[in-house]
Amino acid sequence: MGAQQWVTSTVGLAATFGVIATLWQRQRSEHLDRRERASERVRLREQQARHDEQQARAEWWRRWEWAVELASADDPAREGAGAATMEALADSPLITASELGILEVFGRMSEWSSHGSD
């Protein structure tokens, strides 16, 4: 084989390896990009779920305040509606341990006030 053929073969092999390396790097880069985008979507879904839970808990608290106001009313019907709403809210899965503590204290205060009025 002559020198011209060796050079041509060498250049051809180098070009082939260059194309293969470029295709491999491109595939690897696209795979990493897809994985990163998937991770970002998961992170955004988790962030949205946390936000939704915070909003639901804030709404629970607004409802609790409304129920306490009703339960404190002078009208027996409103008082009963407030107490029933408070009981329903007490069974919510949105309640945390600190809110359960508040409910327990509120319950004890309600018992004290009802014993005091007897």
- How wide is the angle at C-alpha 44 spanned by C-alphas 93 and 52, nearest 5°? 30
Within 10 angstroms of residue 115's Cβ, the number of other Cβ atoms is 8
**Tens-digit pLDDT profile for residues 37-67:** 999 999 999 999 999 999 999 999 999 999 9
Each domain of the chain, given as residue ranges in start order, spans 7-116
Q: What pTM was computed for the model?
A: 0.61
pLDDT mean over 28-33: 96
Q: What is the residue-averaged pLDDT of the chain?
A: 88
Classified as helix, coil or strand, 94 is: coil
What H or E segment, with its residue span, contains residue 3?
helix 3-71
pLDDT of residue 32: 95
User: Is the CB of residue 78 less than 8 Å from the CB of residue 70?
Assistant: yes
**Tens-digit pLDDT profile for residues 72-96:** 889 999 989 988 998 898 888 888 8
Work out the pLDDT band at 104, boundaries 50, 70, 90. Answer: confident
